[in-house]
Amino acid sequence: MEFMNNPRVTVCMPVYNRVEHLRETIDSILGQTFTDFELLIIDDGSTEDLSEILGQYDDFRMSVFRNEANMGIARARNRGLKLAKGEYIAWMDSDDISLPHRLESQVAFMDSHPEIDLCGTWLETFGDKKSAWKLPVEHGDIFAGMLFECMLYQSTVIMRKKNIFRLNGFYDDKFLTASDYEYWVRLGLAGAKFSNIGEVCFKYRLHDKQISRIKKAENRKYSDGIRTALLKSLGINFSEHEFGLHMILKSGHPSGKKTVEEVSAWIDKIRVANRGRQVFSEEALDRAIGRKWFQLCRNSSSAGLGIWKVYHENSAAESVKLSMNQKVKFFAKCLLSVNSKRDLLRFKN
């Protein structure tokens, strides 16, 4: 049996070893409630024998392509892009699980939102740790959030093929462990529109063999390069010290009052630059920064009431609506860190 016409969706699954999880991953795709798809498995020169598992499938929708040598994830994905016949291209990693309704939900969303070029979904983690990842759903919030970290999870994404190809959308293998992050940023700067569906459609396996864990330092280096490029797109000239302040804002690492004040000045510099270039929606940028600003100041509350004052002096505080409980806890932590009456007098002044 073959497709009468091209399938609506091409699911691309690069594979490099991970044989112990492969069957469960493939079954999660072949068991989708939406059935008009092809599954392209790109065996990227695996050193483990995958034939025993792959040979057990007799489904006309599934095809296997093998790279004779390991080319790396970016090149494997690019091969999938070139082979894809579908109107949409959906991604899948070889050790994760797509919930049965994933493709049905994403195709329905893309069909009803022609302005969106690609969308991901919320997800749940399993394995070493169970948690829910609820990423921003609107384009502006997703793209502005990229200033700090990747806001689309690669293996949940479905893309409108013709629009992505029009934007010359191929992965850059120079970024190795962060090629997906670089890809989304480059597409966003070229005008692509993003979304995340606000429902869990995917299960992401956490384990100690993940590249992001094994090559953590390398991934940080490439991700820093992407953040640097995005800041430069705003026309900002910044020092190594200022980039360090950006990373403190990203991480929310507890800091002293002087450092928090410097971060406040850095925030103002970003917002002024964006006002001139309009790379990001101003409202979405304020929300992305505001969330990080609150986390940093809350985590730095041990520095005393001066942090409470610095937090409110920056207008980024106005972009995040805190609950009364959050306000009380934040103020109480600052207050409990006051060491003397002199600190209270300085706060009042």
CATH number at residue 99: 3.90.550.10
**pLDDT score for 210:** 59
Shared domain check, 166 and 91: yes
pLDDT single digits (tens) 301-312 = 999 999 999 999
Non-local (6+) Cβ contacts of 140 within 8 A are: 280, 281, 283, 284
Identity at 176, one-letter amino acid code: L
* Same domain as 79, residue 38: yes
Query: What domain range includes position 133?
Result: 9-217
Co-location of 32 and 179 in the same domain: yes
Do 213 and 267 have their domain in common? no
The full 3-state SS of the chain, as one line of letters, equals: CCCCCCCCEEEEEEECCCHHHHHHHHHHHHCCCCCCEEEEEEEECCCCCCHHHHCCCCCCCEEEEEECCCCCHHHHHHHHHHHCCCCEEEECCCCCEECCCHHHHHHHHHHHCCCCCEEEEEEEEEECCCEEECCCCCHHHHHHHCCCCCCCCHHHCEEEHHHHHHCCCCCCHHHHHHHHHHHHHHHHHCCCCEEEEEEEEEEEEECCCCHHHHCHHHHHHHHHHHHHHHHHCCCCCCCHHHHHHHHHHHHCCCCCHHHHHHHHHHHHHHHHHHHHHCCCCHHHHHHHHHHHHHHHHHHCHHHCHHHHHHHHHCHHHHHCCCCHHHHHHHHHHHHHCCCCHHHHHHHHC
pLDDT digits (tens, 9 = 90+) for 179-224: 999 999 999 999 999 999 999 999 999 866 655 555 678 888 999 9
Tens of pLDDT, residue by residue over 37-58, are 999 999 999 999 999 899 999 9
Q: What percentage of the chain has pLDDT greater than the value 70?
A: 93
Average pLDDT over residues 11-33: 95
My answer on whether 206 and 333 are in the same domain is no
Query: Taking all residues of the chain, what is their mean pLDDT, rounded to a whole number?
Result: 92
Residues 212 and 266 in one domain: no
Residue at 57 is within a domain: yes
**Domains: count for the chain:** 2
222 domain residue, yes or no: no
32 inside domain:
yes
Is 227 domain-assigned?
no
> Does 164 have pLDDT greater than 80?
yes
In a domain, 224, yes or no: no
- The verdict on residue 169 lying in a domain is yes
pLDDT value at residue 339: 60
Q: Does a structural domain hold residue 96?
A: yes
203 and 343 co-located in one domain: no
Residue type, 182: E
pLDDT reported for residue 18? 84
Percent of the chain scoring above 90 in pLDDT: 84
Q: What is the pLDDT of residue 173?
A: 92
Domain boundary pick from 217, 252, 267: 217
Q: Does one domain contain both 173 and 300? A: no
pLDDT at 3 over 70: no
Task: Render pLDDT for 329-347 as a digit per residue (tens, 0 to 9).
Answer: 999 999 988 664 456 556 5
- Both 193 and 333 in a single domain? no
User: Do residues 124 and 130 make contact, with C-beta atoms less than 8 angstroms apart?
Assistant: yes
Alpha-carbon gap, residue 290 to 25, rounded angstroms = 38
Same domain? 91 vs 190: yes
pLDDT at residue 148 greater than cutoff 80: yes
Backbone angles phi, psi at 318, to 5 degrees: -75, -15
